[in-house]
Amino acid sequence: MQQRLTPLQARQKIKYYCAYQERSHQEVKNKLYEFGLRKDEVEEILSELISEDYLNEERFARIFAGSKFRQKQWGKNKILHELKAKSVSPYNIKIAMREIDEDEYARCLEKLTREKWNALKNEQYIIRETKTIRYMMQKGFEADQVKNVLKNLRGK
């Protein structure tokens, strides 16, 4: 546990924390409580950060969804779950999910499924299929879509 910060010290630190990278409201709130602030101080600083545009939940959610898909190749289910875990509002989650281009998503799904399928070519057919589906679901892709891609791969 770190030493309790004054509201002024916390305000300076949290502005740097928010400027460094986009943060969810919940992450910032937790950090302020870690600084030892009381609820009324936390609420005051949060509203100040929002009014000064250091904190914007919609912007955070859109950047989070877009970057997790493009950089880590996460599927929609995993992104949705992570945004919920960060206490992002359903409205902002819906906006964030629009950041994922459907065509790009389908290409990514097919590419990753094909790569995993090919990497398991020495496995028995049913094990190969099960491992591929499980892997893709862990990445957050929808099982029915993965099965459709597999059906197309087998048809070739």
| Digit-coded pLDDT (tens) for 10-35 | 999 999 999 999 999 999 999 999 99
| Digit-coded pLDDT (tens) for 38-59 | 999 999 999 999 999 999 999 9
How many Cβ atoms from other residues are within 10 Å of residue 87's Cβ? Answer: 13
**pTM across the whole model:** 0.89
Cα–Cα distances in Å, from 134 out to 37, 82, 98?
43, 19, 25
Is 47 found in the same domain as 15? yes
Q: For residue 111, is it within any domain?
A: yes
How far apart are alpha carbons 73 and 49 in whole angstroms? 31
Is 44 found in the same domain as 87? no
Is 66 found in the same domain as 51? no
How far apart are alpha carbons 23 and 31 in whole angstroms? 11
Predicted confidence at residue 5, as pLDDT, reads 87
State the pLDDT confidence band at 4, using cuts at 50, 70 and 90: confident
Q: For residue 92, is it within any domain?
A: yes
How far apart are alpha carbons 73 and 122 in whole angstroms? 25
Is 68 found in the same domain as 41? no
Is 85 found in the same domain as 74? yes
Q: Domain of 42? A: 7-55
Rounded average pLDDT over 145-149: 95
Is 149 found in the same domain as 108? yes
Domain CATH for 46 = 1.10.10
| Digit-coded pLDDT (tens) for 88-137 | 999 999 999 999 999 999 999 999 999 999 999 999 989 999 999 999 99
Domain count, the chain: 3
Q: For residue 1, is it within any domain?
A: no
Is 46 found in the same domain as 80? no
